[in-house]
Copies of this chain bind each other. A is one copy, B any other.
Amino acid sequence: MTDVKDSVLVVEDEPQLRRFIRAALDANGYRVLEASRASEVVALITSHNPALVLLDLGLPDGDGIDLTRALREWTTVPIVVLSARGREEDKVAALDAGADDYLTKPFGMNELLARMRVALRHRPSADEPTVERAYTFGDLVIDIVRREVRLGEDELHLTPIEYKLLLLLARNAGRVLTHQQILKDVWGPAYATRTHYVRVHMAELRKKIERDPARPKLIVTEPGVGYRLRDAR
């Protein structure tokens, strides 16, 4: 239960309540960002990209509902509103402005945490970094989602190290990677001197992905420097 979870931006001007919330979130493994004014919120979201925003409506320098509406112009980050106002119109206004939930003070911390979990699980698919799903080099295809490598029709079986190596090369296709960089990325910073590892495993990798391993077309050696994956384009 000690793993680091997502970061949460707490926007609350009352210092006591802010401390209280921070303590509870800390205890539950969230990283906490704090803001006490509406004017700070945009900058903090863009710079830290929190997974969720807890927004007090009663801020001194601006209306929280307007802020919510403004945020919704450009971000889908979940917004859970905390408010002393419990009137139904206030709730409807905040929710329709784009808030994902609305809690009336005083609220129980367990309920807040549960509602935060709801808001967080709502968006795992929403805007995942959606990076590259697959790389293609000639008839070599690296499907990252499936962790699968194919050469033309047949599927290749790569060992963990070989796969890591290939992925590193693919992500930096065209660029030369030094032995140091490769060692650091695949084996970890402590192995920076074991140049030999790279050679042995690069040879294994070539045996599998090169048509003619003796005359590599894909993985080219840059003597004295490192290796490079040729991107044919």
Residue positions of A touching B, CB distance < 8 A: 1, 3, 88-89, 91-92, 95-96, 99-101, 108, 110-111, 113-115, 117-118, 122, 124-126, 145-148, 159-160, 174-176, 189-190, 192, 222-225, 228
Contacts and interface: CB of A to CB of B under 8 A. Distances in A.
B146 A118 contact: no
Contacts of A111: 88, 91-92
B147 A175 contact: yes
A117 B102 CA distance: 13
Contact of A122 (B92, B122, B228): B122
A131 to B, nearest CB: 15
B223 A160 contact: yes
A196 B174 CA distance: 34
A148 B190 CA distance: 29
5 contacts: A89-B110, A95-B117, A96-B117, A100-B122, A147-B222
A227 to B, nearest CB: 11
A225 B115 CA distance: 34
